[in-house]
Amino acid sequence: MVYRRDSEEQTRSSVAPACALLRSKGMYVTGRLNPGEDDPLTGEVGDGHCWCNKTQNVLGPDDALVERGRCVPGRDCYQPGVV
């Protein structure tokens, strides 16, 4: 059996629910929520670029960066999604 280990940071990513305002190319192309996530269907790698649907910018309503790992509960501008 092959031994594999990912760093803690990687395994922790995308656990918390994402803000409903988070947007990425991948969400439109593949329908996948996590913009940094690879697509198992095709092997494509997420580009990691995200933006906020409210500001249409890489900076959110709080002027902080928009990222999958940052747009989670606890951030002032966070909006829960349906999923």
Partner 1 sequence: MAEYSWPRRGTTSLIDTEQTRIDGVAKASGAAKYSCDINPKGTLVARAMGCPHAHCKIKSIDISLAKDVPGVVLVSPAKAIGDEIQWQGDIIAYVAAETEGAAAEGVAAITVEYEMLDVFVDDQHLAAAEAADRTGKPLSNVQLVNEPGDDEDEEAFEEAEIQRLLEASDVVVEGNYGINVITHMCMEPHGSTCEWNGDQLTAHLSTQNVSGTAGQFADPLGITASDVTVHCDFIGGGFGSKFAADSWGVACAELARQTGRPVRLMLDRDIELKTAGNRPSGFIKVKIGADKNGVVQVWDSQQWGTSGASGGGVSQGVVPYVFDPENRRRTATSIATNAGPQRAWRAPNHPQAAAITHTAYDDVAAALGIDSYDVFLRNLDSVSNDKADVYRAQMERAAELMQWKSKWHAHGKGEKKGSVVTGLGMGIHTWGGGGHNSTCRITIHPDGGVETALGSQDLGTGTRTVIGIVVAETFGLPLDAVNVKIGSSSYPASGPSGGSTTVAGVSESNRRAAQDALAQLNELVAAKLGVGAADLVAKEGRIQASGDASKSLSWKEACALLGMTPLEVNGEFRRGEPSSLSSSQVAGVQMAEVAVDLDTGIVKPLKFVAVQDMGLIINRKTAASQIYGAVIMGIAYSIFEERIMDLQTGAFLNAELADYRLPRLGDIGEIVVDLWEPDSEYERGVVGLGEPPVISPGAAISNAVANATGVRVPVLPLTPQRVLDALGSA
**Site residues, partner 1 (CB under 8 A):** 1-7, 9-10, 21, 23, 25, 28-31, 36, 38-39, 41-49, 51, 53-58, 63, 65, 67
Considering the complex, what minimum distance in angstroms separates the CB of residue 24 from partner 1? 8
Whichever of 17 and 65 has its CB closer to partner 1, that residue is: 65
| 68, 72, 66, 59 alpha-carbon torsion, rounded to 10° | 170
Considering the complex, what minimum distance in angstroms separates the CB of residue 74 from partner 1? 18
Q: Are 77 and 53 in contact (CB under 8 A)?
A: no
| Measured distance between the N- and C-terminal CA atoms of the chain, rounded to whole angstroms | 36
